[in-house]
Structure 1
Amino acid sequence: MRLILTLLCRNEADIVGSMLDFHLSRGVDLIIATDNGSSDGTDAVLETYERKGVLRLLRESSHTHDQAVWVTRMARMAAEEYGADWVINSDADEFWWPTGGNLKDELAAIPASVQALSVERRNFLPPGPNAADELPFHQKQTIRERRSLNSRGRPLPPKVCHRGLAAIAIGDGNHVVMLDGQAVPAAPSSGLDILHFPVRSYDQLERKIREGTEALIRNPRVSSRVGDTWRHLYSQHLLGGTLPAYYVGLRPPPTTLEEGLASGDLVDDRRLQKALAMRPPL
């Protein structure tokens, strides 16, 4: 079985190396990555993995966040050029966790009739106010939500992985895959979980919302519904000057946090911290 992961990223230098190391250690054979004009050294990190022969690097300098187009190209390349049996389309802040320890084993056990899997995401809280800046994110962020909501208060939509298919098309957000214009039914996965680290510092959040929303505004292909959560944070908080307060509010005060842990609404989850501590950089 051949497992390929695609990655579209821009300015994710603080997390992308850990993300690549983790997935390569859990059964991914090759990563196809598109760097969208990063300026923080992300492209240099990707080039390091390309030189080691475990990553194919593509580049898109146009800041239009044309995700569906670029990810579809990578997913089709995975099937046509690299013979992928399964393809995971991921963001840099997502860690696809196999409950059995290996992504290949989990996907190999899926019945042949299933062409796509729906995988839930679990958001980790931002670092505490006293966390040391020099520590990596996985040492500062160990508490996650049992059930995550997006910035509009709606359930966080799952992501979809799929079998390697030359005619596959990926929707914006990687939430749906299509064949011949029809959505492919995605079976819920019990063997995979996505550990999600969308907010790792205030500066990172502000940059993501500003760059991401302004890129979508420049993209004539997408409707205003695409990137709805980014657009909401941009218009309601970034432009309104309340994004710092929004960021602080993402992490409950100590008493509320302890209550959440006691009730099970929050979970002290150190799986990734332990996995990355045991895995030296490739």
Structure 2
Amino acid sequence: MRIASISLVKDEADIIEGFVRHNLHFVDHMFVVDDHSNDNTSEILRRLAAESSAFTLVDDGWTGGFHQSRRTTALLHQVAAQGGWDFIVPLDADELICAPDRQSFENSLSAVPHGVAAGVGALFYCWTPGDDMSIRDPLVRLTTALEPPAGHIFKAIAPAALFADPALTYVEGNHALLLGGSSVPVQRLAGVELAHFAVRSPDQIVSKCLKHYVGWRSRSDYKAHMASQAVAAVNALKREPGLHVSANAPVLDAYLPPDMAAKSRHRPFSERRGTLVWPELAVPQPYAELAGLLDSLIDRAALSDQVVSAATAAGGEMSVATLRALVDERNTLESELARLRNSTADLTQAYVTLLRRRLTVSWRKRLMSGEALLRRLFPR
């Protein structure tokens, strides 16, 4: 049996190495998109990719809001197109396959009927005030877990019979699959869970809820019912009297179940596989994460100002289609520049110089007047 996993990750330095090393014991290949991380996540992933041929870093070129469903679906079909996979497992960076061994995982997958997705529940590991924060590795530090409700499906695993159809899509959160808009039947795996380390410290939760809040709110299709958990958490943060968040801050209530103490139990993650090679990089950097979030918003605002200023200077008409093509081209070129800037190769540096010139020329050449468009977009 051949099994692949697909993941979108961002700012997960404290857990990302453990996530990869553990899950490689259960899948044949991991495909991971690093969503412009601001901490040590990118460096850890780069080292893992250099170390293992079973791990591939994927750049999906995305620079916009939080569209997990769309991006995971695209990655699913990109990986499926390579052929040879029997199952493709969606995993977040805080989710680890919890099974006795690889053979047990395969046996459970083999029992899933043809045309049906495999489903897994989740052991919800969470931070408690009694945790020893001097233990850097959350897979060791966190020992309190909530058992999943009976029959609960936390993630849907796609079999080859389904992902061969280009119409197959994931819903937000990867909790279910749709085929032609209809829900795909799911059979829960026996003896397999996902160990979900979502709540690892107060700082991590604050950073996470702010990033999710901005990511969802910046979507063009955002509706008030979306990301209710992140919105509730940020509303709780707004009531905090200072920047420091205490161990009993209300923001934690948005992520921790109210009956946590009654339903949780002591359960160390004994299924853990692999050991950390670079523990010095597994350092949470919440201010770096939030500053990076602000930087991305600043870049978007600056781009809008540049477009408006250039269009105003040109005068005349600029169609919406032309404006969109202009912005898309600029974003593509800037993204390519960002990937190449750190290279020390002479040829690469020459290419960067040429690309900068192309960006400048394209920006000037393709600008058409935008006075009428500006009146529609920015009425006084």
TM-score range, shorter chain: 0.7 to 0.9
* Mapped partners of 1:147, 1:234: distance in 2: 26
Shift in Å, 1:24:
0.4
Aligned to 1:170: 170
* Mapped partners of 2:39, 2:2: distance in 1: 32
Asked if structure 2 preserves the Cα contact closer than 8 Å seen for 1:114 and 1:186, the reply is: no
Bigger Rg, which one: 2
Q: Deviations over 1:184-210 (max 9, x none)?
A: 111122231111111111111111000
Pairing 1:80–2:77 present: no
Shift in Å, 1:78:
2.0
Aligned to 1:152: none
Shift in Å, 1:57:
1.5
* Mapped partners of 1:104, 1:38: distance in 2: 31
Aligned to 2:70: 69
Aligned to 1:266: 264
* Mapped partners of 2:65, 2:78: distance in 1: 21
Aligned to 2:206: 206
Q: Deviations over 1:13-32 (max 9, x none)?
A: 10011011111012x11111
Aligned to 2:323: none
Specify whether residues 135 and 111 from structure 1 end up closer, same or farther in structure 2 by C-alpha distance, changes over 3 A only.
closer
* Mapped partners of 1:4, 1:103: distance in 2: 16
Corresponding letter in the other structure for 2:191:
G
Asked if structure 2 preserves the Cα contact closer than 8 Å seen for 1:106 and 1:192, the reply is: no
* Mapped partners of 1:39, 1:100: distance in 2: 34
* Mapped partners of 2:215, 2:41: distance in 1: 18
Shift in Å, 1:71:
0.4
Pairing 1:41–2:37 present: no
Corresponding letter in the other structure for 2:47:
T
Asked if structure 2 preserves the Cα contact closer than 8 Å seen for 1:125 and 1:199, the reply is: yes
Aligned to 2:272: 275
Report 1:1-282 matches (<5 A).
Answer: 1-26=1-26, 28-51=27-50, 52-59=52-59, 60=61, 62-99=63-100, 101-102=102-103, 104-129=105-130, 131-147=132-148, 158-164=154-160, 165-166=163-164, 167=166, 168-235=168-235, 237-241=236-240, 244=246, 245-246=249-250, 250=256, 260=262, 265-272=263-270, 275-276=272-273, 279-281=274-276
Percent identity (aligned): 19
Point out the structure with the larger helix share: 2
Q: Can you give the 5+ residue segments of structure 1 that lack an aligned partner in the other structure?
A: 149-154
Corresponding letter in the other structure for 1:188:
R
SS at match of 2:199: coil
Specify whether residues 32 and 24 from structure 1 end up closer, same or farther in structure 2 by C-alpha distance, changes over 3 A only.
same
Shift in Å, 1:41:
1.5
Q: Report the RMSD for the aligned CA atoms in angstroms.
A: 2.7
Specify whether residues 204 and 86 from structure 1 end up closer, same or farther in structure 2 by C-alpha distance, changes over 3 A only.
same
Specify whether residues 224 and 5 from structure 1 end up closer, same or farther in structure 2 by C-alpha distance, changes over 3 A only.
farther
* Mapped partners of 1:159, 1:270: distance in 2: 22
SS at match of 1:96: strand
Bigger mean CA offset, 28-37 vs 76-85: 76-85
* Mapped partners of 2:257, 2:111: distance in 1: 37
* Mapped partners of 1:106, 1:246: distance in 2: 43
Bigger mean CA offset, 240-249 vs 88-97: 240-249
SS at match of 2:214: helix
SS at match of 1:18: helix
Q: Can you give the 5+ residue segments of structure 2 that lack an aligned partner in the other structure?
A: 278-380
Asked if structure 2 preserves the Cα contact closer than 8 Å seen for 1:10 and 1:42, the reply is: yes
Asked if structure 2 preserves the Cα contact closer than 8 Å seen for 1:121 and 1:194, the reply is: yes
SS at match of 2:272: helix
TM-score when normalising by structure 2: 0.62
Aligned to 1:151: none
TM-score when normalising by structure 1: 0.82
Asked if structure 2 preserves the Cα contact closer than 8 Å seen for 1:106 and 1:191, the reply is: no
SS at match of 2:38: coil
Specify whether residues 122 and 108 from structure 1 end up closer, same or farther in structure 2 by C-alpha distance, changes over 3 A only.
closer
* Mapped partners of 1:108, 1:251: distance in 2: 30
Corresponding letter in the other structure for 2:156:
V
SS at match of 1:219: coil
Asked if structure 2 preserves the Cα contact closer than 8 Å seen for 1:37 and 1:61, the reply is: no
* Mapped partners of 2:131, 2:183: distance in 1: 45
Asked if structure 1 preserves the Cα contact closer than 8 Å seen for 2:233 and 2:252, the reply is: no
* Mapped partners of 1:134, 1:271: distance in 2: 14
* Mapped partners of 2:182, 2:251: distance in 1: 38
* Mapped partners of 1:163, 1:223: distance in 2: 32
